[in-house]
Amino acid sequence: MSTAITLGQFIIEKQADFPYAKGELSRLLRDIAIAAKIINREVNKAGLMDILGNAGSNNIHSEPQQKLDVFANEQFISALKAGGECCIVASEENEDIIIIDPPDRKQGKYIVAIDPLDGSSNIDVNVPVGSIFSIIRKSNDVDPCALSDVLQKGHMQVAAGYIIYGSSTMLVYTTGKGVNGFTLDPSIGEFCLSHPDMHIPEDGNIYSINEGHYVNFPKGVKQYIKYCQEEQHPTRRPYISRYIGSMVADIHRNLIKGGIFIYPATASSPEGKLRLVYECNPIAFIIEQAGGRASNGHGRILDLEVSGLHQRTAVFIGSINMVSQVERFLKEAA
Ligand code: AHG
Ligand code: MN
Ligand code: MN
Ligand code: MN
């Protein structure tokens, strides 16, 4: 068995083409990986610790914060503060941006937007959850960093990734030169390259959507679901419906097997539920880099204007043929 390539080695050896000095990327990913390892430890023994259930507070989305939401958020913020490469942290769990400007060293040039714990509703029932991160460079080196640095379009990201705390813990990321997956080897505490150069199949037969909202789905989405339920898949067995309720887990499954993940506008979320800055843009970057498509139903998610830190969007993300097909249904139904 060849020796494992760790995340740190991979960045130094294989990511020399990172658009900025590769040292900064490796330090940023190191900081994120440190937080992920600590969160992983707590997730793996959640039932034995006082880390399950509600923290007793709500976040800006009036979601009851789970203890693990708060814990994960604290881990990412402190790891990024300690690492020194980041000047702003934007988090699902914080209403405003967190500016990091230590008095004793030069301020970092990067913004990190995070969903510290994705799929919180699954924590207490031992179903995979994740963390999502997006790395953007300050828009210029002159002005002090500000919210405008965060509200850049998704195609301005320099890196994006997610961690999935599942049957194994994986970190999957891109810097715009393809997608690579690393599995945590707990015996050495390192993320090791396990899924080099990941590609999402052009087609698939898995559709992933919360059909509980069916009544209020847009007409084109209803027609697409009916198509999946009634058409025999051209090359494989009929379409399969799979919905985990953690975006990271649903996306990761589709990245490996092919499929489409849909969270459209619904009555309770007329703009869509998922947040553009720290859920949809990073996931869209990854899936596009893996050869898939990431749309809001009408166009690229990565081209959407970003006007608010917690702005939401509808998402249709996955195998390029499946996303293009549902876009056709939406266009015809409009
Ligand atoms: P988060 O736990 O970070 O708030 O995200 C939850 C999101 C996403 O992970 C998942 O796809 C979606 O909420 C599930 O929403 P429904 O429960 O409405 O299906
Ligand atoms: Mn949440
Ligand atoms: Mn989330
Ligand atoms: Mn979250």
Q: Does the pLDDT at position 91 exceed 90?
A: yes
Distance from Cα 279 to the centre of ligand 3, integer Å: 6
Q: Does the pLDDT at position 1 exceed 60?
A: no
Query: Cα–Cα distance between 257 and 193 in angstroms, integer?
Result: 19
Query: Cα–Cα distance between 270 and 312 in angstroms, integer?
Result: 9
169 lines ligand 1 (CB under 6 A): no
Mind listing the pLDDT tens digit for each residue in 108-117? 999 999 999 9
Q: Which residue has the tokens 């390892």?
A: 37
Residue 291: CB atoms within 10 Å:
16
Whole-number pLDDT of residue 326: 97
31 lines ligand 1 (CB under 6 A): no
Whole-number pLDDT of residue 92: 97
Q: pLDDT band for position 236 (50/70/90)?
A: low
Whole-number pLDDT of residue 291: 98
Most ligand 1 atoms within 8 A of CB, residue of 58, 62, 121 to mutate: 121
Q: Quick one: which atom of ligand 1 is closest to the CA of 266?
A: 18
Residue 310: CB atoms within 10 Å:
16
Q: What is the dihedral of CA 77, 80, 83, 86, to 10 degrees?
A: -130
In angstroms, how far apart are the furthest CA atoms of the chain?
64
Average pLDDT of the segment spanning 214-218: 94
Whole-number pLDDT of residue 58: 78
User: Within its chain, how far is the Cα of 325 from the centroid?
Assistant: 23
- In this prediction the ipTM stands at 0.98
User: Within its chain, how far is the Cα of 201 from the centroid?
Assistant: 19
| Closest protein CA for atom 18 of ligand 1 | 210
115 lines ligand 1 (CB under 6 A): yes
Average pLDDT of the segment spanning 162-167: 96
180 lines ligand 1 (CB under 6 A): no
Q: Which residue, 262, 241, 248, 253, is CA-closest to 314?
A: 262
Query: Cα–Cα distance between 181 and 191 in angstroms, integer?
Result: 9
Whole-number pLDDT of residue 20: 61
Distance from Cα 120 to the centre of ligand 4, integer Å: 6
Lowest mean pLDDT among 43-47, 51-55, 302-306: 51-55
Label residue 98 exposed, middle or buried (CB < 10 Å: 0-12, 13-18, 19+).
middle
Contact, 239 vs 207, CB < 8 A?
Answer: yes
